[in-house]
Structure 1
Amino acid sequence: MNTKGKLIIIGGAVDKGSFTESSFDKDVSKNMNFFEKGIIKRIIDESKHKENSRIEVITTASKIPREVGPEYVKAFQYLNASNVDVLHIERREQAGEEEVLDRIKAADIVMFTGGDQLRLSSILGGSKLHDIILDKYKNEHFIYAGTSAGAAAASNNMIYQGSSHEALLKGEVKITSGLGLIDDVIIDTHFVQRGRIGRLFQAVVGNPKVLGIGLGEDTGLLITNNTKMEAIGSGLVILVDGREIKDTNLTQVELGQPISINHLVTHVLSIHDTFDLSTFKMHIHSSQYI
């Protein structure tokens, strides 16, 4: 069954312009690449009503929501999307309030900020707000956009803990249920900058049916119909495919011991490259062989 909504997951540190700097307007030329080609511009362009789309920024994952929210409002407004506001949902009961639900029902885009994805899933998971988002994503021309924690929480499986340098020690990577917009993938963020490839390796070796997605900073994936993925932004997307794993010691070693994996396949995507989740085929947009 087709999914009408679009999913835009971002690795964190979205280049949205340094709006906290007083000299921003004078230095705007330094940010023009973002404004013309960047991720937030793409979110607007993919939405139902473009610059007139109703946008709700949800700061639940953040520990500094009152600072983060206005940054995103300014970023959208600078790109001529002025129908934008912030929802500060800090307790579970707020996710069932009529005013909050009415605002989500009216939204064309929800933008989940970074922070702690376990905070996001534990506050919103199973709420009426969560149900509305899932229904809109399935049945309407609606965009779920999430950066960092907002991206990690989008899938059914969610990494919520695990140090980078110990990630290939058995049991060091902690996984729970996310918000469930997309199945059979697991998403990690700040991927290249924080050296988190080992976290995805352990997540995938435990269930090779799941495709690992590692998102670099200011880098994302536009996912349509829960199958076609297009890399957007300025960095890299790493995909970890475990379907061809030939051997591992995962079930033989004790907790805290190193994991061995034989024949784990990886792909590297950059801007405009695509990957089809239904066929597991990658297309390089600027291939040297075309």
Structure 2
Amino acid sequence: MNIQGKLIIIGGAVDKGSFTETDLDKSAPQNLNFFEEGILKRIIKESKNKEQSRIEVITTASKIPREIGPEYVKAFNYLGAHNVDVLHIERREQASDPEVLDRLKAADVVMFTGGDQLRLTSILGGTPFDEILIGKYRNDDFVYAGTSAGAAAASNNMIYQGSSHEALLKGEVKITSGLGLIDDVVIDTHFVQRGRIGRLFQAVVGNPKVLGIGLGEDTGLLITNGRQMEALGSGLVILVDGREIKDTNLTQVELGQPISINHLVTHVMSKNDTFDLDTFKMTIKSSQYV
């Protein structure tokens, strides 16, 4: 399938500029990275109509939607995008509301905030909103952006629970279906900061066809054509490739017992590095061997 839309998935704690909480004029000089290189700026750049794009901030995953939504609106406004609003969907029936659906149809960008990804999928999954969202992503010049829960829910396979320190004990990681915009990957967020490498290892060893994607905070991936990935932001993206696993004890141990894995391949990406989901080839933008 030739995907027309773009995914921008972010590991959480996206840089919205400290000036969003203080004074723009005083703080802007300290936030040049936010203005020039930040992920929110890239979302605008990748959108159909740039600063004139219609952006809907969707707070469904959050327990504090009325607080977090306006912060994103303010941040986008400071970056020159003023056609921005917050779309609150807090119950399943709202995801069938004609007014809500019309706003989604008119949007060039949706920005899903953080929170609880299971809340996101349980409210939106299988609704008319979900169907329109997937259709726009597949067929239109449209940007799905999501941070933390909004990123984790973008794939068909979604991690929704699992402690970091016990993640390589069998059964500790819980996986369900996400919103299904991209197949054959599983995404974990706040990855470096919360030590979640073991969660991704277990997710991949259970089905090595799936590429594990671990997103650090204020770090993301731009995925175009559903296949080409580019690292964004200030931190690291960890990729876990299980296709060359040679051995594991996964099916031999009881629940709660440690899992062994032989020959699990990992890649570490930073800003501007790229990865091709068809060839599984990574390109380091600033390689020392070029």
TM-score range, shorter chain: over 0.9
1:20, 1:51 → 2: CA distance? 18
Determine if the alignment matches structure 1 residue 204 to structure 2 residue 180.
no
1:1-290 maps to which residues of 2 (within 5 A)?
1-19=1-19, 21-290=21-290
- CA-CA distance at 1:31 after TM superposition: 1.0
**Secondary structure of 1:27's match?**
helix
**Secondary structure of 2:160's match?**
strand
1:20, 1:261 → 2: CA distance? 45
Q: Does the CA-based 8 Å contact 1:7-1:145 persist in structure 2? A: yes
Q: Does the CA-based 8 Å contact 2:20-2:75 persist in structure 1? A: no
2:243, 2:175 → 1: CA distance? 19
- CA-CA distance at 1:28 after TM superposition: 1.4
- CA-CA distance at 1:23 after TM superposition: 3.6
TM-score (norm 2): 0.99
1:227, 1:97 → 2: CA distance? 33
**Secondary structure of 1:251's match?**
coil
TM-score (norm 1): 0.99
Q: What's the CA shift string for 1:178-237, capped at 9, x where partnerless?
A: 000000000000000000000000000000000000000000000001100000001000
Structure 1 consecutive aligned stretches of length 4 or more whose deviation exceeds 4 Å? none
1:244, 1:237 → 2: CA distance? 20
Q: What's the CA shift string for 1:67-122, capped at 9, x where partnerless?
A: 10000000100011000000110000000000000000000000000000000000
- CA-CA distance at 1:22 after TM superposition: 2.7
The amino acid across from 2:65 in the alignment is P
Q: RMSD of the alignment, in Å?
A: 0.7
The amino acid across from 2:229 in the alignment is M
**Secondary structure of 1:13's match?**
coil
- CA-CA distance at 1:19 after TM superposition: 4.7
Q: Does the CA-based 8 Å contact 1:52-1:81 persist in structure 2? A: yes
1:27, 1:151 → 2: CA distance? 29
**Secondary structure of 1:167's match?**
coil
Q: Identity, % of aligned pairs?
A: 83
Count of aligned pairs: 290
Q: Does the CA-based 8 Å contact 1:108-1:143 persist in structure 2? A: yes
